């Protein structure tokens, strides 16, 4: 009679359920944090490309000035990897509403040695691994549009 009451006792069941669910909750929480950090880096790289494109459109600035501005922006944000790359393209002609405008692209590439949830996600089929964040910004110089040839 006493053994039957021991097996029917449910005290401590919450602790066992918590021990089973806690690692999964921890994995989800760390995944959210990792994705947030990755997204923050992507936004910094995108804004650095915009800053460089803005400098590239101003008269009197050379490609070195554009690169310096992008490097300064990335350094201020704490992205100091030495493998980062800034490419300032040549003027490109774009047809817009019957007129031609010029745009100048700036491409910023930043490597991130970042594995999703410290590599744990690979055991569950996760595919986000280390790679590169790339952002391209094109802005129009402050010159008037003209008729396309």
pLDDT mean over 119-147: 70
pLDDT mean over 11-21: 88
Percent of the chain with pLDDT over 70: 77
- Residue-wise pLDDT for 40-74, tens only, equals 888 999 999 999 988 988 888 888 999 999 999 99
Residue 20, token pair as written in the block: 């089973």
Confidence at 11, pLDDT banded by 50, 70, 90: confident
Place of tokens 């949830």: 117
Range in 6-15, 100-109, 124-133 with the lowest mean pLDDT: 124-133
Place of tokens 């010029």: 102
Length of the chain: 149
Q: For residues 126 and 10, which has the higher predicted lDDT (pLDDT)?
A: 10
pLDDT score recorded for residue 44? 92
Contact 133, 109 (CB under 8 A): yes
Q: Give 134's Cβ-side CA count (13 Å radius).
A: 6
Contact 30, 118 (CB under 8 A): yes
- Residue-wise pLDDT for 93-127, tens only, equals 887 777 778 788 888 888 876 655 556 666 666 65
The distance from CA 20 to its chain's CA centroid, rounded to whole angstroms, is: 33
| Interatomic CA distance for residues 139 and 69, integer angstroms | 15
Indicate the SS3 state at residue 32. helix
Q: Map out the domains of the chain as residue ranges.
A: 2-147
């Amino acid at each position: 009679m006493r053994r039957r009451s021991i097996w029917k006792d449910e005290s401590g069941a919450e602790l066992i359920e918590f021990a089973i669910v806690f690692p999964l909750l921890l994995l989800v929480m760390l995944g959210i944090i990792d994705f947030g950090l990755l997204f923050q880096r992507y936004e910094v790289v995108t804004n650095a490309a915009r800053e460089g494109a803005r400098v590239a459109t101003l008269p009197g600035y050379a490609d070195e000035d554009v690169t310096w501005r992008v490097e300064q922006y990335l350094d201020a944000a704490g992205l100091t990897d030495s493998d980062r790359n800034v490419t300032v393209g040549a003027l490109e002609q774009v047809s817009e509403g019957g007129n031609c405008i010029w745009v100048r692209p700036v491409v910023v590439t930043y490597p991130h040695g970042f594995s999703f949830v410290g590599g744990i996600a690979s055991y569950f089929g996760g595919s986000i691994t280390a790679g590169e964040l790339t952002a391209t910004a094109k802005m129009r110089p402050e010159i008037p549009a003209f008729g396309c040839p």
